[in-house]
Amino acid sequence: MINGAATSRKRILTTEQVLQLRSACNSITPGGKRDLAVLDSMLYQGMRLREVADLRLEHIRSLDGQFFIHIKLRPILVKAHDTWLQSLNDWLDQLGISLNNDRGPVFVQSRKRNNTRRKPLSKQTISYLVARYGDLAGIAPLKGSNRLFPIELRRTCARNAYDRGARLVSITALLGFNHLETTARFINILELADSESAVDQIQYD
């Protein structure tokens, strides 16, 4: 049974659904470790699909003991979330590489084939993984317009930050948007605005 049906690509996952989605990854297997890190890149870092596919080890930098991500076309370094770092390091440990000493794509095939270099995951593969785990978690069907899309994990990340008190300007920077209005529309908060306008609050007595 599919829970939490929503308009295609407008879905925002509940906390329970996020936990179900992450639990659907078998974190004992190499592929499961990688896939959890892929999902967490969107759920905890708000990355776009292409940003996940293009992520490289050299994009992740350590400054004064804190890790940051340099994402192309973003005006700022994005702080790495602790949960994302944990799932990422579990995956990198599987590959026998580290954040500090290696270069190359982060998300690659979980198995080598014929001793060739592991190929980076494509955007199509990542999209399929998101839909697959959405299906395994009982959130959405595997196929069709109501399947789980990567953009919905990114939207869930942003809305979670907003609901927990993050300022809209900070969320806009996290998402790489240029305008607050774009962020507001993206996380569906326009209808939540106060019925009173700023003008109603102005007084000098």
Each residue's pLDDT expressed in tens, for the chain with a length of 205 residues: 444 444 457 899 999 999 999 999 998 999 999 999 999 999 999 999 999 999 999 999 999 889 999 987 776 889 999 999 999 999 999 999 888 878 899 999 877 655 557 799 999 999 999 999 999 999 999 999 999 999 999 999 999 999 999 999 999 999 999 988 899 999 988 754 554 556 655 656 5
Q: Whose CA is closest to 118, among 102, 132, 104, 129?
A: 104
- d(CA 75, CA 14) in angstroms, rounded, equals 30
The owner of tokens 């908060």 is: 189
- d(CA 162, CA 113) in angstroms, rounded, equals 43
> What pLDDT does 2 receive?
46
- Options 2.30.40.10, 1.10.443.10, 2.60.40.350, 3.40.50.300; CATH for 15-201 is 1.10.443.10
To the question of pTM greater than 0.85 for the whole model, the response is: yes
Q: Where are the domains of the chain?
A: 15-201
